[in-house]
Amino acid sequence: MMKFINYRKVCSLFDVRYASLHASLEAEAKSKKGFLKNNRWRFNNKAKGLIVFAIIAVMLVSVFAFLPKGNNTVPNVPQSSDSPTASPSTTPQETNPTNNPTNKPDPISQITRNIIAWGGDVAQVLTPAKPPGTIESAGTMNSDVWRAVAANAWKYFQPGTGVDANTGLPYAGGTDSPNFTDWDLGVYIQAVIDANKTGLIGTDGDWNSSARLEKVVSFLETRDLNSYNYPYWFYQARDGKNFKANSDSATGPVDGVDTGRLFVALNNLRQFNISLASRINNLVLHGRSNYAALVPNIKTESLNSNSIYFYYVASGFASFWPNELSSAPSQILTNILSSGNVTTNGVWLPKASILGDPLLCSVFEIGNNSQLMSITKQVYLAHEAYYNATGQYRAFSEGASLSDRWNYEWVALSDGRTWATLDESGSNYSITPVIYTKISVGFLAIYNTTFARNMTIYLEQTLPDPTRGYCEGVDESGAHLEGVGLNTNGLILGAAKYAIQNNP
């Protein structure tokens, strides 16, 4: 079994004296090494057999070309009538999407289909088409369909799958990665809230929202801290102890980015369950960790930052220090929108650091505002325009890749680059981009367009069924990333909740 180890490098580091918050989040970002080991393209015996038969099928074409047909006729194989939209669009299509994905890659060529019809035995080896998935089988995207999507994502968070059955603490990537960071803990808290709000779980009972959230808050109140009295960067889900193998590589006393993400979730939790509010306030504001020492640097950084990552982090801190930071999030959005523009396929993007995960997490978890939604719309339009221009689906974000490094797909960067893939060090990463499931579903939840629906259907058809939650995605060459993890399914849960609340 390949391992899925969540390894994160902070994108903004606080030193021992909390003297400075590094200026660039895009160059560092969060690093999670090892998760990709669970997602590398693997050729098992079945896959090898498919390749052999495909080669044989192509070779047989020339033979069949010279054979007399006699009474044998090749069955008429249905053809896809799908086609991409005629021209790039600069506005989302607000019409009901079609049921068929446009221009989806066909894993079995027509020649091979004809050989299958002749060969019989070959047809038994090649994998038949999958039945329609949740999105494809739905006529329209309504609240019932979105609850079904949420239920698929919630499968990941079952005890023994993505949550330790004894401690109630989350796994970053299933049983192959039974550890977590404060970022992951924030994702889990938000997932429990969203599962309750979408009707997947109730309040009372051993594995409903109250019991799950109590385990998390109790852990936060009592967990071991490092020598600086801040959380370790990594913990083990099986016992809640420091995951020393990864924490020892931490480059600072506290992971400020993961802390900000946790604060977003804790703020939402104290509103969701007011009985926990005083404990959460004590934990953050008066607890063993001096989080207040980080606030001045958050404020200073917000004056010039044009990173959507920092917007998300600053929003988490501002929810607990409103007097000092109430203007910080809006200042960052203003910086992004006033940073100048760059054009890609006829769509403008801000010349700023834009990445999918923090952008959509902000939409789904923080109160929406016109600036945030303006940025999000342009990011969506850039994806749709790319497809219209190339016929290739694209859903940029961060996550596993088919290489040995974590993948950061920046839709835009402050230096004017667009569609940039970087590794955890901020260096160019020459790999095939990944179409991330969480981003495709997120676009569908916000805009409900033909493009977003067709892309999500393509992923449904290509990846395994979500029996343990949704898989990470498919790269743009068609290779699968079949790992199932917390971040993907947490974001999809948030997307489903958003769609239910905004488009009943």
How confident is residue 259, by pLDDT bands cut at 50, 70 and 90?
very high
Whole-number pLDDT of residue 12: 33
In this structure, which amino acid lies at residue 112?
A: T
Residue 329 has pLDDT above 90, yes or no: yes
Residue pair 195/189 in contact (Cβ under 8 Å)? The answer is: no
Tokens of 76: 């008429």
Q: Rounded to a whole number, what is the largest CA-CA distance in the chain? A: 87
How confident is residue 504, by pLDDT bands cut at 50, 70 and 90?
low
Q: In the chain, count of helices (H) and strands (E)?
A: 18, 11
Count of Cβ atoms closer than 10 Å to residue 348 Cβ: 15
Whole-number pLDDT of residue 69: 33
Average pLDDT over residues 362-368: 93
* Closest listed residue to residue 210, CA positions, set 273, 154, 124: 273
What is the crossing angle of helices 370-390 and 437-447, to 10°? Answer: 110
Q: Could you give the CA distance from residue 426 to residue 29 in angstroms, rounded to a whole number?
A: 8
Whole-number pLDDT of residue 459: 98
In this structure, which amino acid lies at residue 397?
A: S
What is the CA 51 to chain-centroid distance, rounded? 31
Query: Range with the lowest mean pLDDT among 77-81, 92-96, 331-335, 354-358?
Result: 77-81
Q: Could you give the CA distance from residue 342 to residue 413 in angstroms, rounded to a whole number?
A: 10
Average pLDDT over residues 471-494: 96
What is the CA 276 to chain-centroid distance, rounded? 28
Whole-number pLDDT of residue 244: 94
What is the crossing angle of helices 182-197 and 143-154, to 10°? Answer: 140
Whole-number pLDDT of residue 503: 78
Tokens of 127: 């994998």
How confident is residue 128, by pLDDT bands cut at 50, 70 and 90?
low
Residue 74 has pLDDT above 50, yes or no: no
Residue 421 dihedral angles phi and psi, to the nearest 5°: -105, 125
Task: Return the beta strands (E) in 315-358 as ranges.
Answer: 341-344, 347-350, 354-355
Residue 426 has pLDDT above 90, yes or no: no
- For the four alpha carbons of 353, 356, 357 and 363, in that order, the dihedral sign comes to positive
More confident site: 324 or 130:
324
In this structure, which amino acid lies at residue 124?
A: Q
Tokens of 411: 């839709």
Contacts of 471 (CB under 8 A, 6+ apart): 437, 463, 464, 480, 481, 482, 483, 484, 488
Whole-number pLDDT of residue 129: 75
Tokens of 484: 């199932």
In this structure, which amino acid lies at residue 303?
A: L
Q: Could you give the CA distance from residue 462 to residue 135 in angstroms, rounded to a whole number?
A: 13
* Closest listed residue to residue 402, CA positions, set 489, 464, 480: 480
Q: Could you give the CA distance from residue 400 to residue 175 in angstroms, rounded to a whole number?
A: 17
Domains in the chain with CATH codes: 35-40+136-502 (1.50.10.140), 45-77+102-125 (no CATH)
* Closest listed residue to residue 111, CA positions, set 48, 51, 61: 61
Q: What is the pLDDT of residues 265-276, one digit of tens each?
A: 999 999 999 999
Count of Cβ atoms closer than 10 Å to residue 338 Cβ: 11
Q: Could you give the CA distance from residue 286 to residue 389 in angstroms, rounded to a whole number?
A: 54
Coil, strand or helix at 249: coil
Coil, strand or helix at 420: strand
